[in-house]
Amino acid sequence: MKVIIIGAGNVGSASAEALSKFHDVLIVEKSLERVDAARASLNASVLHDDGSNPKVLEAAIAKVGAEVLLSAIPDDSLNLFICMMAKRIKPSITTVACLRDPDYIIETEAEGASGIDVLISPELITAQKIEKLISLENAVSYDRIDSLGMALATFRVEKSHGLVGRVVMDLDLPEDCNIIAIYRGDGVVLDSETAEIHADDRLCVLGSPASVDRVNSIIGGGREIKELVILGASVVGIEVARSLIASGKKRFIKIIEKDEGLCRHASRELSDALVINADFVDPSVLRAENVHRADVIVSASGMDERNLLACMAALRFGTRKIISKYSKREYEEIFKYTGIESIIGYHRVISNEVTKSLVFDEKAILVMDREDEYFFGVTLDRGSPLTNNRLGDVKIPEGVRIAAVVRGEETIYPRMDTLFMPGDKVLVFTHMADPIRLNRLLGQEVSAEM
């Protein structure tokens, strides 16, 4: 597939990185500094020009025979304009607009309006993930795979929980889910059915969204979230507060923001939240506002440095759950080093959404949090070594887990007696797997990235 990406900022670069693994990508960027950075770091062609210029756009589409155009510059209105112009130039092209402000979300082609095929709002997706992490009390990460009707969540097992010492296969888990991995310290246990649960284990659960909610009721401690503090009246912070208020549950929500204009905006948008105009990285402000009493602290400002400082202060207060967003990839390891688990990276949100929307050849489903992990799908043919065999009769290589099987409209979470059939879409989770052995198991070549 031939793809044009307009803009080489955070969104454009993350999109190019995800798509260039499978498709031919041309980036159009007018900033020379970003052009040089893209050429040095991405496996994509780069054109130094203004992608919002209709003549440049027409020439680029004709030059590469583009099938998809993704517009990812910082101006939402220009992204919509570029996609609409691309449709005028080539009606058959698939257009994707990346929008930062949810107010710019409009109807797509599928909803009867011409011009835009796909809308991606990283801010709105980030807010939805944060809201879900708040509702799943012991979850440290959460993703949805809407095209397959699935969710993937990782839950922390606290030291005092009754699950400690029990074997996974003895748990009364919903049938429409699987524990596909157990994270234990720096190690990963994939043969999870016979594993004994230890304190501080992280259980990675794949299943229907409803089953993941039920797993939360098993793993959680039954604590109701009553008081939340959101640091930063950004788009993400306001959308998180809006979702929590709309849920109908009685919660006390406080937003702390240094910028007076953003405070006024938040006050107009959120009549049921308390908005404080103060600098949340100042420890005296946090103490004065009794932040230590919060059940959850969400750090959602637009500056990674301020989010990091706020999270470190929250750790000192002993806050039970801390959730933060970050924009720059290089901050990921710094956040993890401090011990903050629930962090949502802009680049991962973008990569996953672009992959789910545009990678049609099923080579990837989600970008996992660890660099040596992959979650992807393959369709079995009659010659596959798995076909017409039961899971218990197949030698699964080390580091490989068959997570689920999609058969028509049915999703199967495999047990030892599950029979694989031609046409099955098999979802595979791997951790440091040998690609040669994986290829032999599946009967086809998987991504070279593995």
Give the number of domains in the chain: 4
Question: Rounded to an integer, what distance in angstroms lies between the CA atom of residue 62 and that of residue 342?
Answer: 44
CATH code of the domain in which 369 resides: 3.30.70.1450
Exposure string over 305-333, b if 16+ CB within 10 A, otherwise e: ebbbbbbbbbeebebebbbbbbeeeebbe
Cα separation values, 218 from 8, 163, 215, Å: 44, 9, 5
Contact between 424 and 403 (Cβ < 8 Å): no
Q: Which tens digit of pLDDT belongs to each residue from 392-416?
A: 999 999 999 999 999 988 999 998 8
> What are the CA-CA distances from residue 210 to residues 144, 206, 213, 246, 429 (Å)?
12, 11, 5, 20, 21
Give yes or no for a contact between 298 and 324, defined as CB atoms under 8 angstroms apart: yes
Same domain for 151 and 257, yes or no, is no
pLDDT the model gives residue 289: 86
- Are the CB atoms for 420 and 426 separated by under 8 Å? yes
Concatenate the DSSP letters of all residues of 111-134 into one string.
GT-SS-SEEE-HHHHHHHHHHHHH
* The pLDDT value given to residue 374: 83
- Flag whether 450 is in a domain: no
Residue owning tokens 């969540």 = 153
Dihedral in degrees, nearest 10, Cα atoms 76, 20, 369, 146: 60
Question: Do both 344 and 390 map to the same domain?
Answer: no
Q: Which pLDDT does position 221 carry in this prediction?
A: 61
Tell me whether residue 156 is in a domain. Answer: yes
Using alpha carbons only, what angle is made at residue 328 by residues 18 and 12, rounded to the nearest 5 degrees?
40
Same domain, 52 and 85: yes
Q: How far apart are CA 97 and CA 235, in angstroms?
A: 18
User: Do residue 69 and residue 171 come from a single domain?
Assistant: no
Residue 324 lies in a domain: yes
- Model-level pTM greater than 0.75? yes
Q: What is the pLDDT of residues 294-335, one digit of tens each?
A: 999 999 998 999 999 988 888 888 888 899 999 887 888 888
Task: Please report the pLDDT score of residue 447 as a whole number.
Answer: 54
Q: Are residues 182 and 263 in the same domain?
A: no
321 and 410 both lie in a single domain? no
Check residue 340 and give its pLDDT. 87
Domain final residue, candidates 315, 350, 385: 350
Q: 6 and 94 share a domain? A: yes
Sign of the CA dihedral with 113 first, then 118, 122, and 128 last: positive
In a shared domain, residues 231 and 213: no
Q: What is the pLDDT of residue 365?
A: 63
Q: What angle do CA 184, 185, 189 make, to 5 degrees?
A: 30
Nearest CA among 123, 118, 96, 98 for reference residue 107 = 118
Positions of the chain with pLDDT lower than 50, given as ranges: 360-361, 448-450
Beta partners for residue 323, in sequence order:
298, 342
Nearest to 377 by CA among 320, 322, 430, 324: 430
Contact 215, 155 (CB under 8 A): yes
pLDDT for res 357: 72
Instruction: Determine the structural domain holding residue 395 and report its residue range.
Output: 359-442
Last residue of a domain, one of 193, 219, 245: 219
Tell me what pLDDT residue 450 has. Answer: 42
What CATH number corresponds to the domain at position 99? Answer: 3.40.50.720
